Chain A
């Protein structure tokens, strides 16, 4: 579904990969190797060159905002722009079910952003990205600051979406998690992206 050929930036070496609907690929590699840059380049948040298509549609023919609604990205440190949690959701009704799956109640809507912990921010950002209904989701260590129970809930939520056809690129440092969530692995080292040996 998502085809990438020779995607490169000033730091990233040309990278090629294909991601099918309902597939989850784990992305591993040491810190600073370029994993985040790879995701940002796919989401078209940084200047980059190369050929990217989604369902055969060339990315360069799709306006940036529309592309990012199709290919969502959740960074390791999600950003917030308003005072309360609810203001960050265009469609709170759609978010409610997801948040419930992750153990959050209705009253979180009025929480001030400043009160959220790092782990809560990650989960709200994930739900925020899911409510846009992307075809592809790029996740940058979405469970890095979570306890075991919350990790399981996030993995279950994403797994259910993957079964529904969502394609996922998931950056993680956690080896057991890699085996739980993904059937393929990419390794990023010094700006070079390659498929891991199975």
Chain B
């Protein structure tokens, strides 16, 4: 990895002028988003600076404990994010537990799979590989699970009469919610499928672009990107299936009733 151009802080300051232009436009047109925009830009800058420091420290010590704690922290934050994207939430611990549990299961499984098979760093938990890989899988998995659960709960509410009609005719809970399950899983996986289909033609993924900017030959960067895309598809698929099935399990009961009383909401997202 030779010959990448090092940025200094003046370069960033210059680019940040673009955000200030956005804010100015918001003020001129009375859009009232300049405040949120500036706060988000500042948050982004501070968070990434901190992450840079944390990763530098983490990479220098290569400790399984610290790497594990970082992974745990990322997953717990992602769990919070899943909740924020729900119009209706499951009651009690299920709300946080289901999304977080499924993300933890699938993202750790898929990341470990990649570390032990394709990448094989030494040691296998080397944070320089484990953390960025998990971050990419987790981010997509989070979007998939949030979309899947949101579709599941809102659709069950709107299609309640249809689902109960099937239950009344003697369908099992899994059969009665099958059309809703399909919709939920489809909406969970659609972003992943779309991004795989459009990658290379419409968009150049950030990771691949980053590697190319860092001096990696494009063909090698592309191989990494393909690997990551497969991992994302796998992780999102496992996570979304587990979360949607878990959600159905919670929103029905052993007597094959629909239990929408276990939902809280609605709430504007």
Contacts and interface: CB of A to CB of B under 8 A. Distances in A.
B257 interface: yes
Contact of A80 (B161, B168, B254): B161
Contacts of B254: 64
Nearest to A64: B256
Interface residues of A, number: 26
A22 interface: no
Interface string A116-128: 0000000001001
Nearest to A90: B169
A65 B171 contact: yes
A161 B199 CA distance: 62
A133 to B, nearest CB: 10
B162 interface: yes
A75 to B, nearest CB: 8
Given A46-B257, A64-B257, A65-B256, A78 B169 contact: no
Nearest to B177: A81
Interface stretch (A27-35, A66-74, A163-171): A66-74
Contact of B162 (A45, A72, A80): A80
B160 interface: yes
Given A45-B257, A64-B255, A64-B256, A79 B169 contact: no
A41 to B, nearest CB: 11
Nearest to B159: A81
A196 B256 CA distance: 33
Contact of B167 (A47, A65, A78, A128): A65
Interface in B143-193: 159-173, 179
Contact of A81 (B170, B179, B258): B179
Interface size class of B (residues with CB under 8 A): 20 to 34
Given A47-B257, A79-B160, A81-B163, A68 B179 contact: no
Given A69-B170, A128-B169, A129-B168, A79 B161 contact: yes
Nearest to A73: B168
Contacts of B171: 65
Interface string A16-58: 0000000000000000000000000001111100000000000
Nearest to A45: B257
B129 to A, nearest CB: 47
Nearest to A44: B255
A75 B166 CA distance: 12
A63 interface: yes
Contacts of A132: 169-170
A174 interface: no
B262 to A, nearest CB: 10
Contact of B256 (A63, A77, A79): A63
Given A65-B171, A68-B168, A68-B169, A79 B163 contact: yes
Contacts of A64: 167, 173, 254-257
A79 B162 contact: yes
Contacts of A75: 161, 164-165, 168
Contacts of B164: 45, 75, 79
A77 B169 contact: no
A34 B75 CA distance: 46
Contacts of A128: 169
A78 B257 contact: no
Interface in B28-81: none
A194 B256 CA distance: 29
Contacts of B170: 65-66, 68-69, 132
Contact of B166 (A47, A63, A73, A81): A81
A72 B165 contact: no
Interface of A: 43-47, 63-66, 68-69, 72-75, 77-81, 88, 90, 125, 128-129, 132
17 contacts: A44-B255, A45-B257, A46-B257, A47-B253, A64-B173, A65-B170, A65-B256, A68-B169, A68-B170, A68-B256, A72-B169, A79-B159, A79-B160, A79-B166, A80-B162, A88-B165, A132-B169
Interface of B: 159-173, 179, 253-259, 261
Given A45-B257, A78-B165, 18 more contacts: A45-B164, A45-B258, A47-B261, A63-B256, A64-B254, A64-B256, A65-B256, A72-B169, A75-B165, A75-B168, A79-B159, A79-B160, A81-B162, A88-B165, A90-B169, A125-B165, A128-B169, A132-B169
